[in-house]
Amino acid sequence: MLDIATDGRTWLLTGPRSSYALRLTENDELLHLHWGPRITLADAEYLAARQELPYWPFEAPVDGHEEYPVEGGPRFTRPALSVRTEERRGTEWTFQEYEADGDELRLRFLDDGLRITLHYRMRDDVVERWVTLANEGTTVELLRADSATWTLPRREESWRLSQLHGRWAAESRLARGELTYGEKVIGSRRGHTGHQHLPWVALDTDATEEHGEVYGCALGWSGSWRIAVAQLPDARVQITGGAGYDESGLLRLEAGGTFTTPVFAGLWSDGGHGGASRAWHAYQRAYVIPDADRDRPVLFNSWEATEFDISEEQQRALAERAAAIGVELFVVDDGWFGARTSDRAGLGDWTPNPDRFPEGLKPLADQVHALGMQFGIWVEPEMVNPDSELYRAHPDWAQFQPGRKRTELRNQLVLNLARPDVQEYLWEKLDALLSSAPIDYVKWDFNRCFTDAGWPGEEYPQKLWVEHVHAYYALLDRLRAAHPGVAFESCSGGGGRIDLGVMSRTDQVWTSDNTDPLDRLAIQHGFSHIHPARVMAAWVTDSPNNQLNGRVSSLRFRFVSAMAGVLGVGGDLTRWSDEELAEAREWVELYKEIKPVVQRGDLYRLRPPSGGMSAVQYVHGDEVVVLACLQAQHYGEPLPPLRLRGLDPAAIYECRETGELYRGVVLLHHGLRTGLRGDFDAKVVHLRRM
């Protein structure tokens, strides 16, 4: 809902539980008024009438209050917009008009020929904000154009900042600490979202998992980015974020040129960190993730089983076993194309390797379908190996700086996707590939960061950072439109490209290359603070873990850990014993039963993974699923019962497995005894309200 004051200068956006208000002063300063519980327009006008901007030597009165601080004039905070023309730098805007369009508010400003439009859209309790810039005058260089600046209310207590940090094989781990004066900056200067930070922050003063106020902000951009959280000298906190890591220049807009920033979404919740996560999940399922009402199938992926050493016969053998344990989607990972027998060759040549798949992929895809599964393949279109047909034909299609060496990481270079000829090549190859065989699923990987992002011959080469992302999105959009039955997974050496931007064009994401079931609990715990189980792919792989740490764990523990997201199997099934395959079949069957609850339900983090027992719970309609994992029991002491959440206290719940009856109020207040013991024990409890 959008309310507008009669003078047309105070606006109020309202969702089911929260409101957001802003106003324009007579000097065309756009000031923040409110972000928090629902208020009325009269409340917003009251706040507007009493807003104080006291004069203080060496400070700017508007600092800490502006919705979108531009560079120039008496402002000392980080500018969200920084532009320059040949003559000057900075912005001095005048307000033109507002447009109200359902739940979307557009505020239009003008500075000479540069039109600046701030967009606000309320989607449930998530405020989406973005900016469009349209140049109608002389050439303007966008040094920086953030999507939004968020302002928090003043509080006596210190703010705490939560972030999701990591690195390869250790993504999305939660860190929480006190915010102090100055700025905390997270981001990526790597050309992709990166493993190092998910583009999300949350701020609270004293929230717990289920109580208290939490402010969250998440950016939808899959290239380099930056979020800066600033505590200003008067303790006010603002959060500014957008595309690009620094101010070295995003784009140059000639007359007629436009740029639309990515969406920077904000959410206020008074339901603690758990309530905030559930609101983020509901928002993504409703507005971001394509076809979120369709549950994702259980998949098998061949990577950890075979790595590059693949053959059609061996994939057929794996497919037979995968089908026998109940897998629904069989994915051939890296190694099926070009001269790709190792990571040294083949990227760029997207046709089946003639020795490995002499008749192409169709015979294998047909067999997989005959086994009752969907068929998927791996690609990494944005890359090229110097040892490839593509690179030999077009060495200038890679990103490079003239006269400098071309840095190879994993023996590969990044293609310059900003070039229309590269875009067209990839479209033709991928379209032909998806037409060549009945392919239902594409795992789209990205295995190295930008290092030599040059574009010889181009007048404004740094635009490739932005244009690469736009071209990647456009290619995905075009492929999805041409092949509507094909689902896409975003992967970047695990979780290196996970954000709201990629989430709006892919069906699930590869959470991490770390498939160790214990490490995964912490990775998944962090991930769940922003993204839902519906997109979080998790595989059961071999024990001892052959990729990372040699850890031995039971099949039970591995399955329960992976069942918290979109279940997959990634072990070498040709080496699993008959007993292991039979047990796996039972777990897969159980997962299929609980899948709608896990993938569509509300998530409650009952206990974080911190050494003993951790547990998550999902509630969907009358159904409840609890996944509990015990790392280690100590002193033989029985584990304290798990107090469930989100249940009807007056209801009776029946355990689907044992038929045992539980009372809602008892589960809420006294808890559920799991019976877990020893090391690496785990359990699934599936209840239904009677």
Catalytic residue IDs: 445, 513
Token pair listed for 623: 């159904």
DSSP assignments along 365-394, one per residue: HHHHHHTT-EEEEEE-TTEE-SBSHHHHH-
Q: Is 259 in the site for ligand DGJ (CB under 6 A)?
A: no
Report in angstroms how near the CB of residue 312 gets to ligand DGJ at its nearest. Answer: 18
d(CA 517, CA 493): 18
Q: How many CB atoms lie within 10 A of CB 581?
A: 14
Stretch that binds ligand DGJ, among 266-274, 386-394, 486-494, 602-610 (CB under 6 A): 486-494
CA-angle at 200, arms to 191 and 241, nearest 5°? 65
Measured from the CB atom, the residue of 236 and 448 that comes closer to ligand DGJ is 448
Report in angstroms how near the CB of residue 493 gets to ligand DGJ at its nearest. Answer: 5
Per-residue x/- mask for ligand DGJ, residues 559 to 578, rule CB under 6 A? --------------------
Report in angstroms how near the CB of residue 528 gets to ligand DGJ at its nearest. Answer: 20
Stretch that binds ligand DGJ, among 5-13, 270-278, 389-397, 490-498 (CB under 6 A): 490-498
Question: What are the Cα distances from residue 145, in Å, to 117, 126, 132, 470, 677?
Answer: 12, 21, 9, 16, 54
Q: Which of residues 270-329 bind ligand DGJ (CB under 6 A)?
A: 303
d(CA 575, CA 229): 50
Of the candidate residues 194, 266, 494, 568, the single one contacting ligand DGJ (CB under 6 A): 494
Per-residue x/- mask for ligand DGJ, residues 12 to 41, rule CB under 6 A? ------------------------------
Per-residue x/- mask for ligand DGJ, residues 624 to 663, rule CB under 6 A? ----------------------------------------
Q: Is 491 in the site for ligand DGJ (CB under 6 A)?
A: yes
Measured from the CB atom, the residue of 499 and 681 that comes closer to ligand DGJ is 499
Residue nearest to ligand DGJ (CB): 334
Element (H, E) at 349: none
Evaluate whether 359 touches 365 at the Cβ level (below 8 Å).
no
340-375 as b/e: b if 16+ CB within 10 A: beebbbbbbbbbbbeebbeeebeebbebbeebebbb
Stretch that binds ligand DGJ, among 487-495, 497-505, 529-537, 618-626 (CB under 6 A): 487-495
How many residues are there in the chain? 690
Q: Which of residues 338-397 bind ligand DGJ (CB under 6 A)?
A: 378
Report in angstroms how near the CB of residue 516 gets to ligand DGJ at its nearest. Answer: 14
Measured from the CB atom, the residue of 91 and 515 that comes closer to ligand DGJ is 515
Report in angstroms how near the CB of residue 527 gets to ligand DGJ at its nearest. Answer: 15
Question: Do β-strands 160-165 and 197-204 pair in parallel, antiparallel, or remain unpaired?
Answer: antiparallel
d(CA 325, CA 185): 46
d(CA 270, CA 212): 5
Stretch that binds ligand DGJ, among 224-232, 347-355, 488-496, 630-638 (CB under 6 A): 488-496
Report in angstroms how near the CB of residue 495 gets to ligand DGJ at its nearest. Answer: 8
Q: Is 331 in the site for ligand DGJ (CB under 6 A)?
A: no
Q: Is 516 in the site for ligand DGJ (CB under 6 A)?
A: no
Report in angstroms how near the CB of residue 219 gets to ligand DGJ at its nearest. Answer: 22
| Site size with ligand DGJ, rule: CB under 6 A | 11
Residue 678: CB partners within 8 Å, gap ≥ 6?
Answer: 630, 633
Measured from the CB atom, the residue of 515 and 543 that comes closer to ligand DGJ is 515
Evaluate whether 441 touches 489 at the Cβ level (below 8 Å).
yes
Residue 361: CB partners within 8 Å, gap ≥ 6?
Answer: 332, 336, 352, 375, 377, 436, 437, 439
Side-chain-facing half-sphere of 203: CA atoms under 13 Å: 26
Measured from the CB atom, the residue of 117 and 490 that comes closer to ligand DGJ is 490
Q: Is 261 in the site for ligand DGJ (CB under 6 A)?
A: no
Q: Is 542 in the site for ligand DGJ (CB under 6 A)?
A: no
Stretch that binds ligand DGJ, among 185-193, 273-281, 365-373, 491-499 (CB under 6 A): 491-499
d(CA 279, CA 266): 11
DSSP assignments along 220-281, one per residue: --SSSEEEEEEE-TTS-EEEEEEESSSSS-SEEE-TT-EEEPPPEEEEEESBHHHHHHHHHH
Token pair listed for 459: 């007048």
Beta bridge partners of 415: 398
Per-residue x/- mask for ligand DGJ, residues 429 to 458, rule CB under 6 A? ----------------x-x-----------
Of the candidate residues 213, 513, 542, 681, the single one contacting ligand DGJ (CB under 6 A): 513
Report in angstroms how near the CB of residue 168 gets to ligand DGJ at its nearest. Answer: 9
Beta bridge partners of 120: 105, 129
Report in angstroms how near the CB of residue 510 gets to ligand DGJ at its nearest. Answer: 5
Q: Is 216 in the site for ligand DGJ (CB under 6 A)?
A: no
Residue 156: CB partners within 8 Å, gap ≥ 6?
Answer: none
Report in angstroms how near the CB of residue 570 gets to ligand DGJ at its nearest. Answer: 8
Measured from the CB atom, the residue of 196 and 447 that comes closer to ligand DGJ is 447
Q: Is 493 in the site for ligand DGJ (CB under 6 A)?
A: yes
Residue 461: CB partners within 8 Å, gap ≥ 6?
Answer: 453, 454, 455
Where do contacts with ligand DGJ occur on this chain (CB under 6 A)? 303, 333-334, 378, 445, 447, 491, 493-494, 510, 513
